Amino acid sequence: MNFWTNKKVVVTGGAGFLGSFVVDKLKERGCKDIFVPLIEEYNLVNMEDVKKVYAHAEPDIVIHLAAKVGGIGANRANPGSFFYDNLLMGIQLLDQARLFGVDKFVTMGTICAYPKFTPVPFKEEALWDGYPEETNAPYGLAKKMLLVQSQAYRQQYNFNAIYLLQVNLYGPRDNFDLETSHVIPALIRKCVSAVKEGKEELVVWGTGKPTREFLYVEDAAEGILLATEKYNKQEPVNLGSGHEISIKELVGLIVKLTGFKGQVLWDASNPDGQPRRCLDVTKAKKEFGFESKTLFEEGLKKTIDWYENIAYGRR
């Protein structure tokens, strides 16, 4: 707890899904000086706005969570902007952190940076063993370059930057916009809407064969803060649950929890994405004592309850 006493902290993306939980946990830990650069006031793709953040906040620590993200559809529709915006935000924030004398910079990477056919579970050492899955490669590679920058800055400037590789998150406050959301919020919204509207069919992208790993958002926030407090090495570290589930099983679970009684139709004309995704999470436990605490079905129930309350005003 004493780690955060008198620390000035910038959390980019702190008003977003993951960031809001990180800010909550910082406050619980006694951090009094937290600055969240809102997108309406600071465009982090613009260097002048990045400089203004540092001049205003004078941070000791930067936790960089801001990102342009989305599911397969959004990645296919916006590969250029996903690459450019994520790369520029990270590069500029990290470089200015060094110039402003920030003590520590925490970068949130992505499981999308791993090669398409990485052996499961994904070990950090396999990160450079091939090209990422094509539908989200521009996003994954942009984030991966921030690892290169972090390690280069540690080597040349002795700058303390760490890099965490995160699986897909889920939980309350997620993005449920069908155009830009990831698989869990998209499925929850579709199922809840189908129940509400009495639909007898539900169309889901792909074949259902790929597997994915998901991490409950509050667990992810805890992992990030534990790493900020205790980890100071150049090697990337996976943040995940270690729990792998097929998309078909996931759909079945969400169908059950939302009470949808109709038929699920699989649209195989849309891509599956990467065949399998599951992280080796032993390094996070060894280096800073992180383990996922939330059981998957419990986390899904909390997420569904939150969405139903927001969408339809019921708990």
pLDDT digits over 179-220, tens only?
Answer: 888 899 999 999 999 999 999 999 998 999 999 999 999 999
User: What span, in angstroms and rounded, lies between the C-alpha atoms of 279 and 101?
Assistant: 33
Per-residue HEC secondary structure of the chain comes to: CHHHCCCEEEEECCCCHHHHHHHHHHHHCCCCEEECCCCCCCCCCCHHHHHHHHHHHCCCEEEECCCCCCCHHHHHHCHHHHHHHHHHHHHHHHHHHHHCCCCEEEEECCHHHCECCCCCCECHHHCCCCCECHHHHHHHHHHHHHHHHHHHHHHHHCCCEEEEEECEEECCCCCCCCCCCCHHHHHHHHHHHHHHHCCCEEEEECCCCCEEEEEEHHHHHHHHHHHHHHCCCCCCEEECCCCEEEHHHHHHHHHHHHCCCCEEEEECCCCCCCCCCCECCHHHHHHHCCCCCCCHHHHHHHHHHHHHHHHHCCC
For the chain, state the CA radius of gyration: 19
For domain 2-170+214-243+276-293, which CATH number applies: 2.60.40.420, 3.40.50.720, 3.40.640.10, 3.40.50.300?
3.40.50.720
Q: What pLDDT score was predicted for residue 311?
A: 87
Marked catalytic residue, from 139, 163, 216, 307: 139
Q: Span 88-98, mean pLDDT?
A: 98
Q: What is the pLDDT of residue 314?
A: 58
**pLDDT per residue over 227-251, tens digit each?**
999 999 999 999 999 999 999 999 9
pLDDT at 270: 86
d(CA 187, CA 191): 6
How far apart CA 42 and CA 260 sit, in angstroms, is 42
Q: How many CA atoms lie less than 13 Å away from 128 in the CB half-sphere?
A: 6
Whether the per-residue pLDDT at 315 is higher than 50: the answer is no
Q: What are the boundaries of each domain within the chain?
A: 2-170+214-243+276-293
For the chain, report the end-to-end CA distance as a whole number of angstroms: 34
Token reading at 110: 């992505």
pLDDT of residue 72: 78
Q: Decide if 216 is catalytic.
A: no
Residues 4-28: tens digit of each pLDDT = 999 999 999 999 999 999 999 999 9
How many Å apart are CA 64 and CA 47, to the nearest integer?
15
Q: Give pLDDT tens digits for 300-314.
A: 999 999 999 998 875
